[in-house]
Structure 1
Amino acid sequence: MTEINSLGAQTALGPQAAKAAMTGELLRLLQPQPGLVPPGETAKAEVMSLRQLGVDFQLLLRLTLANGTQSQVQTTASQPLPPGTQLMVSQADGNRLAVMVQQANASNVSTLTRLDTAQIPVGTLLQGKVLTNQALPVNPGEAASFRSLVSLLNSSQAGATLSIESPRPLAVGSLLSALVQSDQSLRFVPLSGRQDQLLVSQQLASQQSRQASLPGVLNALQQLTSSPGGTGELRASAERLLASLPQASQLGDAKAVAQALNNSGAFLEAKLLGGLSAGIVPDLKAQLVRLVAQALPGVPGNPMLNPTIAANTLAQVLPGMARSALGMLDKVSPRPQPGSFPLPSRLLQNLEQEADLQQLLRLAAAAISRLQSHALSSLQQTGTLDNGNLQTTWQTEIPVRHGQDFIPLQVKLQREETPQQQADPQREQRDPQQSLWRIELAFDLAPLGPLQVQAQLSQGRLSGQLWAELPRTAELIDSQLGHLRERLLQRGLDVGDLECRPGIPPQGPRTRLEQRWVDETA
């Protein structure tokens, strides 16, 4: 929330500007011009433009002398004067223009310090350009605050200058959009971010229509490794991929969980950008991409017969290949809601008559699309919330080996930080528990059936809910919550509410703030 400054006209320019005005040093000419204003005379001056240069401000003035002669001069000032400000100036020497004190104080009439909601109703979307940005003095222990002048570009007040205060600095020259909340309150709307989110949502909808669950390709790879007729290179890659999957018994160790998340494919692009080529070897998405590259040359009628060419051009051909190979997916299962969690099970059907290699290719491409859907969902849910906090989301899927079966464990982690935490220079070194963390888990473990977990950790206090689709499983888990609480307390956590409910969590549109399942501050 950004409050519009409601300073009175007597103090609108601030004590520093008033003192400068009284000493005649408010405006300094960029180039000395002796005799610009004849001695003993005054000239009318209008601010034509304002530009911030570091801590100073550059003004273009249009001077009108008593005889009607006009000229334009450039000056600098320690305080901003918005365009349109009318002044009376005299010239003390060739380097400075002195502003009459009364005029300097009255010049603020052209700067809006509150909105007239009769002319700009609540809910109006204002657009403006940031002219200046200044850090305001703060007392020890207080949050930083910044004052900016914003030139309005629309509404009935177009051309006027608005003085606002914000908890974060506004980039000079940037374009802003804000919704009018009241005569002294605005809420910024990051339109560029919304455009990015729209592109992500469009791509997510397209990507999800091509995805399928991971067990399909993993079962096919398991059959490939046990088949005596499997090709050597493709079979070896399948064996390495299956061997890299974590066992369910291993996920009781924190380091094993961290390694499983790191190898889930959620960070493949970040590893490649960071030059961590060694880190992509056990990465699930990287191994699936390698499988597709190895399978493509063997598909009948595929022109990419050279495995090296296939690997080098995979990034370019994969989207088109996925569209052609998976074009029938829309016919075999319903399209999921973009951004939903967990992603529903999606199995390829009616493919039994396809050649084995073509089948594997389709399954692998569908699995890559599923991992991409998780990545796009992470982007879709990352951004600044209405309260100014920054929410970062990591969503992924980890296939876990449980005997001869593969159990997809879907994970969503969210971290929320206040503006003060984001501006903390020791942000990377501080205790992670100072941030608000949320986690969602979803998996289907026989004989318990589908389960979902929602938990929140803030300042070392943990609370959460579990959902079981089978009523008998909900009763079983509910009877064990006391033991779970004891284990968490032994880990040094302060445990709040814990409960298990039958069914599934509420679905449908939810705002980000409504996704706080348990509000410990309420």
Structure 2
Amino acid sequence: MNEISGARPLPSATPSVRAAASAADMAVKLLQPLEGLLAAGETAKAEVVALKESAQSFQLLLRLTLDNGRQTTLEASSPRPLAQGTALAVTALSDTRLLLALQGGGDKPLTQLDLEQLPVGTLLQGKVVASQQIAQAKAEQAVYRVVVNLLNTSLAGSKLSLETPLALPVGSLLTAQVQGSQALNFLPLSGRLDQLELGQQLAAQQNRQGSLEGLFKGLQGMSGKAGLPEGLQAGIDKLLAAFPEARQLTDPKGLAQSMENSGLFLETKLLHGQTGNLPQDLKANLLRLVAQMLPNLPASSPLAVSNASGALAQALPAFVRNALGALGQPNARQQALSFPLPSKLLQSMEGEADLETLLRLAAAAISRLQTHQLSSLAQTQTMPDGTLVTTWQLELPMRNQQELVPLQVKLQREDSPKAEKKEQKETLWKVELAFDLAPLGPLQVQAQLLRGSLSSQLWAERVGTAQLIGEELETLRERLVAAGLTVGELACRQGVPPQGPRTQLEQRWVDETA
């Protein structure tokens, strides 16, 4: 835990800045209009990012921070130089002129946070601008006082004074989570994905993903096809044989095994050297299938290999930090965070499926599994009240007679913070299921389990199915009670659950031992 404190002032990390700047206010001419960023008379904070000398003036690059935390850069022509890093207060005189005023001595670093402005759980990003070791006794741990320039939230541009046992070098970037008005928790880069990069990857995978139904039909169509390479035929048969029967998912052990082999944990297994059960992993088998198909594409179509390789490369994750590409695609990202993922069938070629079509379907299926993985990461977070939400989202193929049906599953565990030392943490389990099972049609199940008490809602798109389920709810209640649960509301509605960015999931019971 790192404390926010301002007990002792620190020397400036850039002492030359103040000496180079004049104390007088001055007006500068913008090289491009404000276009509504600031109205005449409005003020904002700014920092000199770069300085370039021209024939009879100086060209400044200013980083402007608005009251809502938004940042942008402006170019201006100045009669006098201002050193890089100079902090300014700017006032709009017109759409093309600004009045610059030096912030005398710079803003005093904050020594505590307003939790109404930055609730517990908020992620702060900043840059270390000063660091100094505090004197301590021989047996004590070294403590450093650090000044951080905040880069996000409504406090962007402000400075924060911290005391921490970490020797953070000047210029280093950090991310911290608000734990209290005077407490932060640093998040190491090795233990997290940059949130902007995660959102960008989530949007990209969502745009490339395709429903598993299309792949299942393509695999069944290709299986046993004359002229298919022996190794590829074996790969298809192995993939299809790994899909469990629907009844196996009603058994805790069978469900646990299917979830483990869903592809959600593939990278974790590889990281820890757990390769023993990879032959049953859905994502690993899809990657093997793609690798087997690439050499067998028709030689008469040299572009096919190039295009297919490109499609595979796009399907695979590329977690490369690139803050400049953080604009992303918000609509695609929001769709990827919704549950269930929408059905998205790729346009198939006319006639029988060929290897190129199957390759496209397999790459889209890999992207779909990765969309589930990224969505799980994006929805695992600490809420403002301190509740830790852990999310697992995945898709399980299952056999229903001759059909192959994908079952979408979303698990959430909510661990509430302790109010007092004597109180135990409460754990709320939530589950959501979505599947299309003949002859019932599309179904969604939502449930939640808290202290052994279960409540659940079922949604059926077909009127007849909703009526049928409604007639069987009492039987379901009796079976749940026999399993040792206290059962609250059980209901079935016709239609689909309401969707929204803050929709609460009231989901089906999950056996924690599964």
Q: Distance in 2 between matches of 1:508 and 1:372?
A: 22
- Describe how 1:412-423 pairs up with structure 2 within 5 A: 412-419=410-417
Post-superposition Cα deviations, 1:118-163, rounded to whole Å, max 9, x if no partner, equal xx99579997989999xxxxxxxxxxxxxx9885757799778689
Q: Which residue of structure 1 lines up, in the alignment, with residue 87 of structure 2?
A: none
Output the CA distance in 1 between the equivalents of 2:161 and 2:417: 26
1:318 paired with 2:316, answer no
- Picking from 433, 439, 458, the partner of 1:466 is 458
Percent sequence identity over aligned pairs: 48
Contact 1:298-1:305 at 8 Å conserved across structures = no
The 1-side partners of 2:196 and 2:274 are apart by 31
Kindly report structure 1 stretches of 4+ aligned residues shifted beyond 4 Å: 2-5, 46-49, 110-115, 120-133, 148-163, 169-181, 184-195, 301-306, 314-317, 320-323
Deviation at 1:457, TM superposition (A): 1.4
Deviations 1:267-320 (A, max 9, x none): 1111111111111001111111111111000113588999xxx9xxx9998314
Contact preservation (8 Å) 1:297, 1:303: no
Q: Which residue of 2 aligns with 1:490?
A: 482
Q: Deviations over 1:355-414 (max 9, x none)?
A: 711111111111111111111111111122222222111111111111111111000111
Q: Which residue of 2 aligns with 1:199?
A: 197
> Which residue in the other structure is 2:280 paired with?
282
Tell me how far 1:515 sits from its aligned partner. Answer: 2.3
Q: Letter of the 1:379 partner, please give it.
A: L
**Counterpart contact for 1:111–1:162, Cα < 8 Å:** no
Q: Distance in 1 between matches of 2:159 and 2:466?
A: 62
Task: Label 1:3 to 1:410 Cα distance change in 2 as closer, same or farther (>3 A).
Answer: same
Q: Which amino acid aligns with 1:455?
A: A
Could you tell me how far 1:335 is from its partner in structure 2? 9.7
- The letter of the residue matching 2:381 is G
Give runs of aligned pairs for residues 439-478 of structure 1, distance below 5 A.
Answer: 439-478=431-470
TM superposition shift of 1:417: 2.0
Letter in 1 for 2:274: L
> Of the candidates 480, 485, 500, which is equivalent to residue 492 of structure 2?
500
Deviation at 1:502, TM superposition (A): 1.6
2:347 corresponds to: 349
Whole-Å Cα distance in 1 between the matches of residues 206 and 239 of structure 2? 23
Deviates more, 1:288-297 or 1:343-352: 343-352
The one-letter amino acid paired with 2:391 is T
C-alpha spacing 1:416/1:122, structure 2 compared with 1 (3 Å): closer
Q: Is the 8 A contact 2:264 2:369 kept in 1?
A: yes
| Residue 438 (1) aligns with residue 430 (2) | yes
Give the alignment of 1:152-163 within 5 angstroms.
Answer: none
Matched position secondary structure for 2:280:
coil
How is 1:146-295 mapped onto 2 (pairs within 5 angstroms)?
196-295=194-293
Q: Which has the higher contact order (CA 8 A, sep 6+)?
A: 2
Query: What CA distance in whole angstroms lies between the structure 2 residues aligned with 1:365 and 1:111?
Result: 51
Partner SS state of residue 338, structure 1: helix
Measure how far apart 1:450 and its partner are. Answer: 0.9
Once superposed, what is the RMSD of the aligned Cα atoms? 4.8
Match of 1:515 in 2: 504
Report Cα offsets for 1:63-89 as digits up to 9, x if no partner: xxxxxxxxxxxxxxxxxxxxxxxxxxx
- Determine which structure has the larger helix proportion and give its number: 1
State whether residues 213 and 367 of structure 1, in contact with CA within 8 Å, keep that contact through their aligned partners in structure 2.
yes
Partners of 1:440 and 1:455 within 8 A in 2: yes
Within 2, Cα distance between the matches of 1:268 and 1:235? 24
CA distance in 2, matches of 1:390, 1:304: 49
> In the alignment, is the contact (CA less than 8 A) between 2:211 and 2:345 conserved in 1?
yes
Q: Is the 8 A contact 1:127 1:178 kept in 2?
A: no
Distance 1:477 1:177, change over 3 A: same
Matches within 5 A, 1:37-76: none
Matches within 5 A, 1:102-121: none
Code of the residue aligned with 2:504 in structure 1: it is Q
Amino acid at match of 2:239: L
Indicate how the Cα distance of structure 1 residues 493 and 380 shifts in structure 2: closer, same or farther if over 3 A, else same: same
Question: C-alpha distance in 1, partners of 2:315/2:126?
Answer: 43
For 2:199 and 2:193, how far apart are their aligned partners in 1? 10
For residues 441-471 of structure 1, what are the alpha-carbon distances to aligned partners after superposition, in whole Å with 9 as ceiling and x for unaligned?
0001122111111111122222221111122
Counterpart-to-counterpart distance in 2, 1:462 and 1:170: 45
Any gaps of 5 or more consecutive residues in structure 1? 6-12, 14-45, 50-109, 134-147, 164-168, 324-333, 425-430
Using the alignment, how far apart are the partners of 1:368 and 1:342 within structure 2?
17
Q: Would the alpha carbon gap of residues 226 and 496 (structure 1) be closer, same or farther in structure 2, given more than 3 Å must change? A: same
Residues 494 and 233 of structure 1: CA distance in aligned 2, closer, same or farther (over 3 Å):
same
Q: Is the 8 A contact 1:128 1:176 kept in 2?
A: no
Q: Which is further off, 393-402 or 248-257?
A: 248-257
Q: Whole-Å Cα distance in 2 between the matches of residues 397 and 377 of structure 1? A: 12
Mapping of residues 381-392 of structure 1, within 5 Å = 381-392=379-390
Structure 2: stretches of 5+ with no match in the other structure: 12-107, 135-143, 318-331, 508-514
Q: Distance in 2 between matches of 1:271 and 1:178?
A: 28
Q: CA 1:472–1:353 in structure 2 vs 1: closer, same or farther (change >3 Å)?
A: closer
Normalised by the length of structure 2, the TM-score is 0.59
The answer as to whether partners of 1:297 and 1:304 remain within 8 angstroms in 2 is no
Output the CA distance in 2 between the equivalents of 1:357 and 1:388: 50
CA–CA separation in structure 1 for the residues paired with 2:286 and 2:393: 18
CA distance in 1, matches of 2:438, 2:193: 43
Query: Larger Cα Rg: Structure 1 or Structure 2?
Result: 1
Contact kept in structure 2, 1:336 and 1:344, CA below 8 Å:
no
Q: Which amino acid aligns with 2:370?
A: Q
**1:35 is matched with which residue?**
none
State the distance in 2 between where 1:160 and 1:361 align: 52
CA distance in 2, matches of 1:132, 1:496: 58
Classify 1:363/1:157 alpha carbon distance in 2 versus 1 (closer, same or farther; 3 Å). closer
Structure 1 residue 219 displacement after superposition: 1.8
The whole-number CA distance in structure 1 between the counterparts of 2:468 and 2:454 is 21
